[in-house]
Amino acid sequence: MADALTISGLDCFYGETQVLFGLGLTLRQGEVHCLLGRNGAGKTTTLKAIMGLVSARTGSVRLGDIELTGLPPHEVPKAGVAYVPQGRRLFAEMTVAENIEIGLMTRQRGKDVREAVLDIFPVLRERLRQRSGTLSGGEQQQLAMARALCLEPRVLLLDEPTEGLMPSMIAKIRQSVASLRERGVSTILVEQRVEAVLSVADRVSFIENGRVRETVGVDRLREDPDIVKRYVGVS
């Protein structure tokens, strides 16, 4: 099957500091691809580079036939990539409804999409008028997911969506990732801990010092847990 997203030779800098070094990665159609790596390895930067929020000095990010590095950042979501940032980055002063409205920004009409998304996360429907900054952590994460799903993305980027959540909420997020996968959405899932991904991921890439060191199927990972220790340390 064709690849959903192909990253190759990506070099990214913050000022003069290089953070990504010729990073390459392929996201297959319909797979959940997990990025694992230590703090500061460059996982978030990789996602930001895909979104065009950090510009790539060299290298390419292709979404089907479209070269994303050539687009202005606000065109990337229109091309079909949605982003759930680390720490959620909700518009805290705005209501739940307004945050969802922002997710619908790329389309002229979004009523059906909005309803469909609220059906996935029914707690949000009860809290549309509430300021999103006052939601609980789990509700905020659901809102961040809902806001991204409003784009009806082909590719979904999730940056540590289970960070700081209790187990039942983690299960809920994991379950929505799995059901998106069934609908053909390709997902890049950034996580710190390997247990968080074994049940949902198809493949795992290990990132170290701004490079992808190794990409393996989850089956390999179950058989040989030592691989994880090599890149993430004891977890």
Ligand X SMILES: Nc1ncnc2c1ncn2[C@@H]1O[C@H](COP(=O)(O)OP(=O)(O)OP(=O)(O)O)[C@@H](O)[C@H]1O
Q: Going residue by residue from 24 to 63, which x/- string records binding to other proteins, judged by CB under 8 A? A: ---------------------------xxx----------
Q: Going residue by residue from 164 to 183, which x/- string records binding to other proteins, judged by CB under 8 A? A: --------------------
Residue 29 binds which one of Mg ion, other proteins, ligand X, none, with CB within 5 to 8 A depending on kind? none
Q: Going residue by residue from 32 to 61, which x/- string records binding to ligand X, judged by CB under 6 A? A: -----x-xxxxxxx----------------
Q: What number of other Cβ atoms are within 10 A of residue 167's Cβ?
A: 8
Q: Does 145 bind other proteins (CB under 8 A)?
A: no
Nearest residue (CB) to ligand X, 44 versus 205: 44
- C-alpha distance from residue 78 to each of 12, 99, 154, 155, 223 (Å): 23, 17, 10, 11, 40
Residue 138 binds which one of other proteins, Mg ion, ligand X, none, with CB within 5 to 8 A depending on kind? none
Q: Does 110 bind other proteins (CB under 8 A)?
A: no
Q: Copy the structure tokens of residue 75.
A: 């065109």
Q: Does 184 bind ligand X (CB under 6 A)?
A: no
Q: Copy the structure tokens of residue 180.
A: 């998106």
Give the separation between CA 146 and CA 129, rounded to whole angstroms.
Answer: 15
Classify residue 148 by burial, with Cβ atoms within 10 Å: 0-12, 13-18, 19+.
Answer: buried
Helix 96-103 crosses helix 111-120 at what angle (to 10 degrees)? 120
Which residues are near Mg ion by CB under 5 A?
A: 43-44, 86
